């Protein structure tokens, strides 16, 4: 929307708001006058006062629920005033005060009913969103397993570290001596003699070689 049209729309909304504020005060005055005994109608007086209060509060604080209530009560007040005027006409009443009271209530309630309905239909008055800065969800779901950013649209400061692969054992051990083949054979003979219980084929050199293998592979490399 161009800036000129946006400024014009804001000006119209401001004028409509001021006009509705004046009609709200008028409904308060008309309802107060209808509280006069033997002149006004108590139901009409209460309804007009409630309509004026809803309009004043809703327009002052831009409270959507109060504005909706103001619209509904304006139509109800208008309908009640029209019904009373029709009854007075059918009864051929010549009570000037009652005619004047209900005419004042009708003229004070009909314009804000139409104007506030137009404001709702044109979506000038819209309900506030439920999720905002002070109503954010407490838990966020991150299904990809990545760390949550500090704010929406933020990217990590640097590249993610590569996934850690579990280390596999290395054989032969890195700290083993080069001449390990004969010692391993001697160690095998010692292990076989221990398992069979026959140490006839085992010599002192085989036992020494097994001891060297044991000291070369323990402790294991970290």
How many domains in the chain? 2
Let me know whether 113 and 209 are in one domain. no
d(CA 192, CA 168): 28
Q: pLDDT tens-digit profile of 25-44?
A: 999 998 888 887 766 788 98
Could you say which of 100, 121, 142 is where a domain stops? Answer: 121
Let me know whether 103 and 205 are in one domain. no
d(CA 204, CA 189): 12
Let me know whether 113 and 7 are in one domain. yes
Let me know whether 34 and 107 are in one domain. yes
Q: pLDDT tens-digit profile of 139-176?
A: 444 444 555 555 455 555 556 666 666 565 555 555 55
Residue found under tokens 């640097």: 158
Let me know whether 193 and 116 are in one domain. no
What is the mean pLDDT of the segment spanning 106-127?
Answer: 91
For residue 201, the enclosing domain spans: 181-217
Q: Does residue 14 lie in a domain region?
A: yes
């Amino acid at each position: 929307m161009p800036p000129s049209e946006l400024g014009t729309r804001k000006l119209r909304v401001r004028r409509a708001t001021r006009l509705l504020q004046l009609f709200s005060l008028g409904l308060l005055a008309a309802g107060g006058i209808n509280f006069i005994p033997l002149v006004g109608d108590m139901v009409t007086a209460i309804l007009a006062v409630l309509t004026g209060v809803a309009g004043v509060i809703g327009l002052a604080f831009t409270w959507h629920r109060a504005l909706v209530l103001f619209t509904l009560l304006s139509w109800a007040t208008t309908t009640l005033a029209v019904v009373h005027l029709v009854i007075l006409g059918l009864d051929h009443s010549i009570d000037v005060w009652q005619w004047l009271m209900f005419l004042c209530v009708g003229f004070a309630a009909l314009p804000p009913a139409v104007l506030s309905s137009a404001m709702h239909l044109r979506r000038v008055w819209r309900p506030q969103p439920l999720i905002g800065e002070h109503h954010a969800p407490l838990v966020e779901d991150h299904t990809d397993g990545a760390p949550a950013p500090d704010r929406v649209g933020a990217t990590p400061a640097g590249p993610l570290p590569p996934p850690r692969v579990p280390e596999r054992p290395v054989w032969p051990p890195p700290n083993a001596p080069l001449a390990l083949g004969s010692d391993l054979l001697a160690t095998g003979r010692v292990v076989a003699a221990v398992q069979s219980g026959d140490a006839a084929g085992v010599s002192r050199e085989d036992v020494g070689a097994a001891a060297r293998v044991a000291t070369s592979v323990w402790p294991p490399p970290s």
